[in-house]
């Protein structure tokens, strides 16, 4: 029940192919979200990164085992166990968020993947430093691409936060409960 785009070698177990990229994908977990919308937006995100940051796209291909799109409690995440980045499903297809904003989240997670690939040990004291490195990448991206103003604004706001706020502790069980509650409410409408 996860949309998976496997980047490095193009392999995927059970999947269809995204028209925009020709890369394999599975299907959406929310019936009101059309697979084609996910495929189109993912294609636009990847094309933007390829156009404005080809070196970073090469790094993503090296550092990530794949990209998942699924319901989750935040915009994006990197899962070191699987080596995959995740972009949140409703964030991906929400037209209120620009392609530049979605690509910024992917590049942010790509920094986490790069740090992991380099073998850097993640200690609690190093988390804020790593998060600031990600936010500086977002800032660079927002200054590089057209329509990057909101990316710049969000990155600068995050960089101004104290360490505890830039890399906060999250109660993932509570976050998952809230996502489930929101999904139930969406299905009831």
Sheet containing 76-79, strands listed edge to edge, beginning at the edge strand earlier in sequence:
3-5, 66-70, 84-88, 76-79
155-181: average pLDDT: 81
Sorting pLDDT into bands at 50, 70 and 90, what band is 164? confident
Lowest-pLDDT range of 100-109, 129-138, 167-176 = 167-176
Q: Which residues lie below 8 Å from residue 157, measured CB to CB, with a gap of 6+?
A: none
Q: Reduced to 3 states, what is the DSSP secondary structure of residue 8?
A: coil
Sorting pLDDT into bands at 50, 70 and 90, what band is 29? low
What's the length of the chain?
A: 189
Lowest-pLDDT range of 13-17, 57-61, 126-130 = 13-17
69-97: average pLDDT: 90
Q: Reduced to 3 states, what is the DSSP secondary structure of residue 98?
A: coil
pTM above 0.85, yes or no: no
The label of the residue with tokens 């979605």 reads 102
> How many C-alpha atoms does 137 have within 13 Å on its Cβ side?
23
Query: What gap in Å lies between CA 152 and CA 158, rounded to an integer?
Result: 10
CA angle 74, 79, 83 (to 5 degrees): 140
| The pLDDT of residue 131 is above 70 | yes
CA angle 187, 42, 140 (to 5 degrees): 115
């Amino acid at each position: 029940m996860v949309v998976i785009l496997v980047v490095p070698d193009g392999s995927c177990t059970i999947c269809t192919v995204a028209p925009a990229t020709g890369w394999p994908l599975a299907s959406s977990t929310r019936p009101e979200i059309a697979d084609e919308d996910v495929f189109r937006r993912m294609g636009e995100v990847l094309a933007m990164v390829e156009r404005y940051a080809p070196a970073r796209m090469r790094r993503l291909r090296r550092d990530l085992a794949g990209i998942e799109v699924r319901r989750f409690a935040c915009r994006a995440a990197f899962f070191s166990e699987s080596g995959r980045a995740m972009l949140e499903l409703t964030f991906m297809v929400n037209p209120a968020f620009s392609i530049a904003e979605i690509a910024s989240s992917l590049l942010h997670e790509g920094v986490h993947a790069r740090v992991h690939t380099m073998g850097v040990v993640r200690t609690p004291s190093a988390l804020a430093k790593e998060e600031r490195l990600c936010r500086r990448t977002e800032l660079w991206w927002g200054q590089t691409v057209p329509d990057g103003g909101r990316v710049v604004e969000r990155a600068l706001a995050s960089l101004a936060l104290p360490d505890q706020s830039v890399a906060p502790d999250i109660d993932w069980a509570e976050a998952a409960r809230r996502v489930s509650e929101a999904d139930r409410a969406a299905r009831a409408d």
